[in-house]
A = this chain, B = another copy of it.
Amino acid sequence: MSKILVFGHQNPDTDAIGSSYAFAELSRLRGLDAQAVALGEPNEETAFALDYFGVKAPRVITSAKTEGADTVILTDHNEFQQSISDIRDVTILGVIDHHRVANFETESPLFMILEPVGSASSIVYRQFKAEKREISKATAGLLLSGLISDTLLLKSPTTHESDFAVATELAELAGVDLETYGLAMLKAGTNLAIKTADELIDIDAKTFELNGNNVRVAQVNTVDIAEVLARQAEIETAITKANAENGYSDFVFMITDIVNSNSEILALGQNIGKIEAAFDFELKNNHAFLAGAVSRKKQVVPQLTESFNK
């Protein structure tokens, strides 16, 4: 059995790192030669979680082949443009994910467990449980962190009814108080002042192919939207450069208030009319408020997809 690499998406967030770390462990318990790697450095929120539970950040790789691996398992993503550079040249053994499916295909049958739940970590946890596998404190802690991160502490509309019990059980296994630990971890990810504008727009960014357009949708979490908007000029310069360099038709930048659960949308690109139509709002000075929106996956991407397909 050859080496199997397990990883989440590019620009990894805490769920990408947590779910891949834990699923690699589960795969080893199942007898596979699996190891967790990552397609980027952990962000500050993830670094907080890794540090808290004493886990070393997974090694960053950019190609499976150069690692001598021809078999991979994807967690927390399936779209090829969000995956490893040589995804089309390797065998995809399995996918654990909670996103829509697009730009994904295989030559052969595979394991694919997708559920519309709050995090990929939730799915990995239930697999440990179904197989009655022991779960270490650190693994439980990283899975919990993935769930907290993706659901903004169970407040996002992406939270599934089953996630509340998962969070309670994982907090118990990890030995932390859910609310206290969760808020501390989320706040660790909101220290945006130390980031350059180029870094800001890339902290948690994904590209979506919408009706032939490459649309970049990035999100930052904050406790103060105004503080981020104060840097609008330099952020716009960074976005304009990113659009030109990467061929993005549009860039949608979500500034999400994790305390009040709202977002400000800043958008630049060639299809501003479609973006405005998607959210039924009017951008003024390139930005607009989107009340109650915290989830890119549920409150932004489907709306953009529908609008771009019209």
Contact = CB atoms under 8 A, between A and B. Distances in A.
> Which among A101, A297, A305 has the highest number of chain B CB atoms within 10 Å?
A101
Nearest to A158: B109
Interface stretch (A39-47, A112-120, A167-175, A177-185): A112-120
B297 A107 contact: no
A302 B306 CA distance: 34
Nearest to A102: B105
A99 interface: yes
Interface string A173-217: 000000000000000000000000000000000000000000000
A246 interface: no
B114 A109 contact: yes
B102 A109 contact: no
A100 B106 contact: yes
A110 interface: yes
A53 interface: no
A9 interface: no
A277 to B, nearest CB: 16
A17 to B, nearest CB: 20
A305 B109 contact: no
A98 interface: yes
Interface string A282-310: 00000000000000011000100110000
B106 A110 contact: no
How many copies of this protein are present in the complex? 2
A302 B107 contact: yes
A281 interface: no
A212 to B, nearest CB: 14
A103 interface: yes
Nearest to A130: B130
Interface residues of A, number: 25
A104 interface: yes
Interface in A81-140: 98-116, 130
Contact of A114 (B98, B103, B112, B297): B112
B112 A112 contact: yes
A113 B112 contact: yes
Contacts of A115: 109, 111-112
Contacts of A99: 109
A122 to B, nearest CB: 12
A297 B107 CA distance: 10
> Which among A113, A114, A130 has the highest number of chain B CB atoms within 10 Å?
A114
Contact of A100 (B105, B111, B298): B105
Interface of A: 98-116, 130, 297-298, 302, 305-306
11 contacts: A98-B109, A99-B109, A100-B110, A101-B104, A102-B106, A103-B105, A107-B306, A108-B116, A109-B115, A112-B115, A113-B114
The 5 closest A-B pairs by CB, nearest first: A112-B114, A109-B116, A102-B105, A100-B106, A107-B302
